[in-house]
Amino acid sequence: MKCFYICALLCIINTFYIIPESNAQVKLFEDFESGVFPSAGWTTVNSNGAEGEWKLNSRNTKSGRGCAVSNFSVTRAENYLISKRFIPSQGDSLVFYFKQTFWNNYNDTFKVKLSNIDSLPQSMNTILFSFYENVNYPVYSGYGRYSVSLNSFAGQTVWIAFHHRNMNGDNIRIDDISVGKPGLYDVDMVENIFPKGKFGACAVETLIPSAKLRNTGSENISEPFNVTYKISGPVNYTSTKEILLNAGEEREIFFDTSFISLPGIYNVKVFSSLPGDPVLTNDTVYSSFEMVKADYGGGLFYNGGYYFSNSTSCSENAQSSPEFSWKDTINSVSMILNGEINQQLPFTGNTNNGYFSLGNILPQGYSFRYFNQNFDSVFISTNGIVGFKKNNALLSHDPTKINSLFFIQLPAICAYWSDLNFGSSSQNENRLSYKLAGKYIVITFDKAHVNSGDESEYITFQICLELVNSLNANSRFAVQYNKESTGEDFLSKYSDNTLSPHFVGFKNTTGSNYLKYRYRDSTGLTDYGTLFNSSVSVQFGQNAALLNNRSSDLNLTLKLEAVHPGKDSVEIQIRDTFYPYPVLESKNIYPDLGGIFKGKFTIPAENYNYYIVVKHRNSIETWSREFGEQFAGFSLNYDISSDSTFAYGNNLKNKNGSYYIYSGDADRDGLIDLADFSMISNDAQNFMTGYRDTDLNNDGVVDLADLLICENNAENFIRIKTPLNTLNNSVSGANGSYKK
C-alpha cells in the first residue's frame, strides 16, 4: 500500500513538471542561426520561370545573427521559402517576424500560405496572411510580429510557404519563425534596441543600453527575474536588472549608463534568467555595434588638401583641435525670424526650401578664399547649405540624392544639409541670421526644425567663415553644434541613429574635391563624424596644425577715478576697427581679487585689430588706443592704467603717475557737465543711499564727495573720445557747461 501511494505521488509530481513543457511544445522553430540555409527539410523555390532567391543574411536581424532575405533579381520575381512538414496541435499558432528593408514603395506583395497536401508552391492554397507594400507592410525601421491560429489544421500534416512577389527592387526579411503554444509563462527576448550599428567615436556622451522583452505566456511573472546586458570588445560592460512581467506584456528595459569611445567592434549579448522558463531558445539575443574613428582626418587627394578635427576628446591625437566657442550673435541680421522672411534681403523659394543671396557685405579687401578661389558673395540655404555661387541646387532638401549637389557647378559647404523647415508650425521660435564679425562671417541656424519631424526635433548650429585679405592661404571654416539649444527629440534620434537623412561636408565647384564628415542616407550612416557629445565644434582647413577655433582671453587692468581702490562691474565691448566700428561682442565683468577684469570672448581672431571699450554706469566711456589691439595666441593683456596713451585720445586722468578713467558721467551721455552735477546734487540733498548712478565713489551714499568729483571734471569739459566723435568734440558744452 505504501508503495502505491509513493508511486501515485511520483506520478503527480511528474505530471506537475511535464504539463508546462507539454503546453510549450514547439512544433516548428527556425531562427536562421545554424549557418546552413535552407535548414534541413526546408526548400526555396522560384516559380513562373522567373529568377528569384531567398538567402541567409546577417544584417538587420530581428534577433541573433541570422535572418532570411528575399532579394530582388528581376521584375516580378516569385520567391518561395517553404518549411519542413509538421503536425500542429489544438491551440498552436504560427508566429513570425517580418521587415521590409527600404522605405520606398516598390509595389511588392508578401503572402504566407499553407498546404496540407505537399510542399509544392501550386499546392499552397490557404492564405494565412497577405501584405501589400505601402498598405499594410510594417514600418520599414523595424520588424512586425505576426501570429495566426492553426486550430483548423490540428492533427494534419502541413507545410508553410513564405511567398514574396518582388515587383521592382525591394527586399524583405523574416526571422524567428515558430509554431506551438506558449507555456504558462515564457520570456521572449524580442530585440536589442540600443546600441547597434555604427557610431563615430565620442558620438554620444553616454550609452544607455536597452532591449525589449515580452512575456508570451498566459500567466503573470510574480517573482523578480534577471535580465542581463553584456558588451564585449575593446571595452567590456555588464549590467543586470531585476524585473516583473505580466502576461502578454512587452517592455523596453534600460540598463546602466556607460561611456564607450575606443574604436572597434563590440559584441552584444542580452539574456533573461527566468527560473523554469519552458522555452529556452528565445531567451537570448545577439547583436553588435562598431565605434569608428571619425573625429579628425582628411588630407587625402580627393579632399583637395583640406583636413578636419573636432573638439571631442577622441581627437586628442590630432595635430590640433578646435574648442567649442559659440560665436556671439549680438547685432546679427535676421534673415528669418519666427517664420517671417526679411523682405529687405534677396530671397529665392520659401521658408521650407529657399536661399538668401548676400553680396557686397564683406569688409573692403577681405574675401572668403576656398579651393584657391576668392568669393565675396554668400548664398545661404534654409536646408543648411552655404554656397558661393547662385544656383537653384541650393533649394535641394534631399541628401539621399547627393549627386544632385555634387555634380552641379556650385562650390558649397554643407553644415547640416537636411530637410529643414523654418516655417514649421511645430517650432516657430526659430531664427536664421548672419553677422559680420571682423575677420569672420557667422551664420547661425537657431532651432531649425526637421520638416515633418516631432515637436522638439530641431537643431541649432553655426557656420563661421574666416575672411582673408591675401592670396597666400585658403580660409578656414568651422561648424558648431549647440546641444543646449537643440531639441530633445532630435538628440534622442541622433543617439540611436534614427535621424532623417543628412550630410555634413563640402565640395569644390566641380565636385572633384570633397570631404564627407558625416552622411546618412535612407539606409543608415556611412560617414560617422560626431555632431553631439556635449556641444561640438568641427573645423576644416588646409593646415592640420591650425585647426584651433577657440575663445580668446582678455585680461584688462583699469582704474575708475572715483571707485579705485574699490570695485565695481563694467561693460567691456569688443568693437571692429573699421567704420562704423560696430560692437562685435559685449560682457559685464566684475574684477578679480587683483583688480583685473578677466573675460572670455568668442569673436576675436588672431592677426586682426579690435577696439577694447570700457563702459561704466557713471564714468566716461573709454576706448583703447587708436588703430586697436590684437589678440596673440587668443590672449590679450591690456593695462589702460599704465599710461595715458593706452586710451583713445589719451582720455585718462593722471593721479600720481597712475591713469584713471574719468568719473562723473551719471547720465551716460558721454559728457560730464551741469546735467550730471544736478542729478548728483538732487540725490545728495535728498540723502539718497544704495547702488545709484549718482553715487560716484560707490560707498552707498550720495553726498558732497560725489559732487566734488563731478564738479572738477565738469570744469575741465571732460567728454568721450572715440573714432566716431571727432565732430562732436568740436562742439563745446552741448548740454551746457558747469559754472560756479
Q: What is the reported pLDDT for 726?
A: 55
* Domain spans of the chain, in order of start: 25-180, 187-292, 299-546, 552-729
Q: With beta carbons less than 8 A apart as the criterion, state whether 606 and 631 touch.
A: yes
Query: What does the block give as the cell for 383?
Result: 536646408
Fold of 552-729: Immunoglobulin-like (2.60.40)
CB 117, CB 165: distance < 8 Å: no
What's the pLDDT at 10? 43
pLDDT more than 90, % of the chain? 73
pLDDT exceeds cutoff 50 at 4: no
Q: What is the mean pLDDT of residues 614-622?
A: 98
pLDDT tens, position by position, 117-127: 999 999 999 99
For residues 231-253, b (16+ Cβ closer than 10 Å) or e, as one string? bebeeebebeeebebeeeeeeeb
Q: 303 with 513: CB under 8 angstroms?
A: yes
The cell numbers describing 662, all together, are: 574719468
Q: Three-class SS of residue 552?
A: strand
Given a cut of 70, whether residue 7 has pLDDT beyond it is: no
In terms of average pLDDT, the best of 10-14, 95-99, 130-134 is 95-99
Q: Is the pLDDT of residue 2 over 70?
A: no
More confident residue, 648 or 103: 648
Interatomic CA distance for residues 31 and 42, integer angstroms:
13
Give the model confidence (pLDDT) of 15-33 as tens digits.
333 333 333 467 899 999 8
CA 488 from centre of chain? 10
Average pLDDT over residues 196-203: 89
Tell me the residue type at 324. Answer: F
What phi, psi does 344 have (nearest 5°)?
-80, -10
Q: Are 405 and 394 in contact (CB under 8 A)?
A: no
- For residue 301, give the C-alpha cell: 587627394
pLDDT at 168 over 80: no
- Confidence band for 52, pLDDT divided at 50, 70 and 90: low
Query: What pLDDT does 364 receive?
Result: 85
Domain at 25-180, CATH from 2.40.30.10, 3.40.630.30, 2.60.120.200, 2.40.110.10: 2.60.120.200
How many angstroms separate the Cα of 40 from the Cα of each of 29, 30, 69, 545, 638? 12, 10, 18, 61, 83
- Tell me the average pLDDT of the chain: 90
Q: Distance (Å, rounded) from C-alpha 643 to C-alpha 274? A: 81
> In this model, does residue 51 exceed pLDDT 70?
no
Q: What pLDDT is stored for residue 77 in this prediction? A: 78
* Alpha carbon distance 28, 15 (integer Å): 24
pLDDT at 427: 63
Q: Which fold has domain 187-292?
A: Immunoglobulin-like (2.60.40)
Please indicate whether the domains covering 25-180 and 552-729 agree at the CATH topology level: no
Looking at residue 183, its pLDDT comes to 65
| DSSP H stretches of helix in 137-247 | none
Tens of pLDDT, residues 397-423: 999 999 989 999 999 999 999 999 999
